[in-house]
Amino acid sequence: MIHFEVDAEALQRDVPYQVDLWNDRAFVSLVAFALRGMRPRWGGRLGALLFQPIASHEFLNVRTYVRHDEEAGIHFLAEWLPNRLAVLTGRPVFGLPYRYGGITRSPIRCGDPFRGRVVDSASGVKLEYRGQLAAPPAFLPCAAGSLDEWLMERYTAFNSAGARKRFFRVWHPPWSQCRAQVNADERSLLTTNWPWFEQARFAAANYSPGLAEVWMGRPHWAAPNRPLPIKG
């Protein structure tokens, strides 16, 4: 996860929910991860077989932090993935702003440099990042009350793809994570879609080895609300 501090008012213009702030600061995070073995809770082997075409692939999420009806959550500005079928199903079912793109990532190992690249298939704009973990890293839950906890420990996603406003919840243990050193060398994927990202300031980066069990709830309609003014 690579976190950037951005202008709150500019961000709010692109977000249909109330932007949530940490000490009057707004953040956008890039989350690169791999989904493995997604399946429905029902159906056993048959259900897993039906989900197999969309069960495993890479993701890049561009997300920010919002509040809706007094509940804190995340909002996806866009998500890139290399699975065409998943792109087609994400919008109508979950209201997710999926886009088709190519994703390559090197393995992340203690002390070794790593790289990642995401290319939008329609426009060719891209994101390239590189980084390194400390050797050896200490993987721990986020400290209570910290910015890391505020950014990482959120379990409701408020989505909006066109007129399709949805939300869903997830359940899993707290992330085991460590800080990472990361540079995003090429950001045209971001600045082309959100010009205000030109002034984004790197805030922090976290790495987690992941979780074996994550539960995702069904989508619900999100009642419309009107964004409130940004304080300050």
Give the pLDDT confidence score for residue 206 in this predicted structure. 95
Q: In this model, does residue 176 exceed pLDDT 50? A: yes
- pLDDT cut 90: percent of the chain above it: 72
**Whole-prediction pTM:** 0.91
pLDDT, one tens digit per residue, over 71-128 is 999 999 999 999 999 999 888 888 789 999 999 999 888 888 999 999 999 999 999 9
pLDDT, one tens digit per residue, over 125-139 is 999 999 999 778 889
Give the pLDDT confidence score for residue 224 in this predicted structure. 58
Give the pLDDT confidence score for residue 110 in this predicted structure. 81
For CA atoms 22, 188, 185, 124, give the dihedral sign.
Answer: positive
Q: How confident is the model at residue 4 (pLDDT cuts 50, 70, 90)?
A: very high
**Regarding predicted confidence, which is higher, 145 or 232?**
145
Give the pLDDT confidence score for residue 211 in this predicted structure. 92
Give the pLDDT confidence score for residue 74 in this predicted structure. 97
- 98 strand-pairing partners: 79
Sorted by sequence, the CB contacts under 8 Å of residue 40 that are 6+ apart come out as 47, 48, 50, 51
Full DSSP string of 60-125? EEEEEEEEETTEEEEEEEEEEES-HHHHHHHHHHH---EEEEEEEE----TTSEEEEEEEETTT--
Please state the rounded mean pLDDT for residues 21-28: 98
Tokens 């069990």 appear where? 213
Which domains does the chain possess?
2-101+139-221 (2.40.400)
Give the pLDDT confidence score for residue 94 in this predicted structure. 81
Give the pLDDT confidence score for residue 162 in this predicted structure. 67
Q: Distance (Å, rounded) from C-alpha 192 to C-alpha 214?
A: 33
Q: Distance (Å, rounded) from C-alpha 196 to C-alpha 211?
A: 33
Question: In the chain, what is the straight-line distance between the N-terminal and C-terminal CA atoms, in Å?
Answer: 27
Give the pLDDT confidence score for residue 231 in this predicted structure. 41
Q: Distance (Å, rounded) from C-alpha 83 to C-alpha 133?
A: 29
Tokens 């600061």 appear where? 25
Q: In this model, does residue 62 exceed pLDDT 60? A: yes
Cβ-contact 168, 162 below 8 angstroms: no
> How far is the CA of 183 from the CAs of 59, 102, 157, 166, 210, in angstroms?
19, 20, 27, 33, 21
Give the pLDDT confidence score for residue 160 in this predicted structure. 82
Q: Distance (Å, rounded) from C-alpha 69 to C-alpha 220?
A: 14
